[in-house]
Amino acid sequence: MPLVALPDVGGPAQPLLSVRGLQKHFPLRAGFLGRSAGAVQAVDDVTFAIRKGETLGIVGESGCGKSTTSRLIMALMEPTAGEILFDGQPIGHGGLTLKEYRRQVQMVFQDSYSSLNPRLTVGESIAFAPKVHGLDTRRAIARAHELLTAVGLNPTQFARRYPHELSGGQRQRVNIARALALQPRLLILDEPVSALDKSVEAQVLNLLVDLKAQFGLTYLFISHDLNVVQYVSDRVLVMYLGRVAEIGPVDAIYGAAAHPYTMALLDSRPSMDPGNRRKVPPLTGDPPNPVNPPSGCRFRTRCTAAEPICAATVPPLAPAGQDHAAACLMVLPGSGHSRAPAIAA
């Protein structure tokens, strides 16, 4: 029985994936008796939706929770709180089973080598999941060959090779082919080009753009590279220390950022113009430790516009434009911050 693409359930207006109040705390144990010594608040009250057919980019620095978010969505770990709906249906609890869910959501990781089984040929790796899902061996291998062609690798040349016989870019193509093997609707790409050289990075980005159109995919694209995220995304989510700092259309985020962290992140990019170099770093210091994050707004310890109110109030996401929201008291009308807009009458 061949695999068939799974149907759209809720129609185009229903988000493909919604995440509500997602939270993941890793408890820390101290001492001989393993008493609780606080928790790493890796993801804290994160809410967003991925629309059908779009690419949502997530940017942020190390420790901001972007990879934990992707692993929670992939159901590779249990959230501390919050829920995930796929096309309107919950995962488990009488909704989609994990096996059904994983057919529709697949992931590509940063490290192309450690995410492939070194003892399987790339053809076997790609054919593995279709076999688990009921395809007979002959059909699964034919499918693997189709996919290798789709990602630009000649199957007669590559299907029998082992991962160590491929370059980094070729291995990442194999990972992408494997992720596509079950005809998923959502692809989670966690730093897929970060380990690649520039010339190869461009090849893989072009491939991802092509595959999205060819297979009608939706992408969640996670990266620390602002230029890459701008290139591939329709909307962008900026995370800082486990929380959403800002979310909006790519042009709004890059052209009219509302959160001071987003502005600093954008100003931290090299200028690409030797005649007009950066003079002053936009931020000082490193991101704080997520074990004991600052009270109130987590960015306040590095923010030049911070006021006492920022330590007392957790800023909610407030509208900052069309389809654009930022978690900053300077955006929230009547928040008590001196730069906040007045409440409209």
Partner 1 sequence: MTDKLVEVHDLHVRFVSRDATVRAVNGVDFDLMPRETLCILGESGSGKSVTLRALMRLNPPRRTVMSGTVRVGGHDVLAASPRQLADIRGGVVSMIFQEPATALDPVFTIGQQIRETILRHEPIGRAAADRRAQELLEIVQIPSARRRLDSYPHELSGGLRQRAMIAIALSCRPKLLLADEPTTALDATVQIQILLLLRQLQQDMGMGVIFVTHDLGVAGEVADRIAVMYAGRFVEVGPVASLMRAPLHPYAQGLLGATVHAGARGTRLTTIPGAPPNLEHLPQGCAFAPRCAWVEDACLSAVPALRSPAPGQAARCVRVPDTLQDAA
Chain residues in the site for partner 1 (CB under 8 A): 61-62, 167, 169, 197-203, 205-206, 209, 224-228, 230-231, 250, 254, 264-265, 268-275, 277-287
Q: Residue 112 region, left (φ>0) first, then alpha (ψ -120 to 50), else beta?
A: alpha
Given the complex with partner 1, which of 82 and 288 has the nearer CB atom? 288
Q: Smallest distance, Å, CB 216 to partner 1?
A: 19
Given the complex with partner 1, which of 74 and 153 has the nearer CB atom? 153
Given the complex with partner 1, which of 162 and 254 has the nearer CB atom? 254
Q: Smallest distance, Å, CB 105 to partner 1?
A: 26
Q: Smallest distance, Å, CB 199 to partner 1?
A: 4
Q: Smallest distance, Å, CB 109 to partner 1?
A: 18
Beta partners for 190?
222
Given the complex with partner 1, which of 109 and 240 has the nearer CB atom? 240
Token pair of 11 as six digits: 């129609």
Q: Smallest distance, Å, CB 75 to partner 1?
A: 28
C-alpha distances out from residue 22 to 19, 41, 317, 324, Å:
6, 11, 15, 20
Count CA atoms closer than 13 A to 143's CA, side-chain side: 27
Q: Smallest distance, Å, CB 269 to partner 1?
A: 7
Rounded CA separation 195/169 (Å): 9
Given the complex with partner 1, which of 19 and 229 has the nearer CB atom? 229
Token pair of 319 as six digits: 């509208």
Q: Smallest distance, Å, CB 221 to partner 1?
A: 13
Q: Smallest distance, Å, CB 101 to partner 1?
A: 32
Given the complex with partner 1, which of 185 and 259 has the nearer CB atom? 259
Given the complex with partner 1, which of 136 and 286 has the nearer CB atom? 286
Whats the size of the chain, residue-wise?
345
Rounded CA separation 135/172 (Å): 24
Given the complex with partner 1, which of 164 and 277 has the nearer CB atom? 277
At residue 20, the 3 state secondary structure works out as strand
Rounded CA separation 280/277 (Å): 9
- In terms of DSSP H, where are the helices of the chain? 66-73, 98-104, 122-132, 137-150, 155-158, 168-180, 198-215, 226-232, 250-255, 260-267, 308-312
Given the complex with partner 1, which of 89 and 194 has the nearer CB atom? 194
| Listed residue (149, 26, 14, 36) closest to 89, CA to CA | 14
CA dihedral angle for residue 104, residue 216, residue 109, residue 240, rounded to 10 degrees: -100
C-alpha distances out from residue 203 to 115, 146, 147, 200, 254, Å:
20, 19, 17, 5, 24
Q: Smallest distance, Å, CB 70 to partner 1?
A: 18
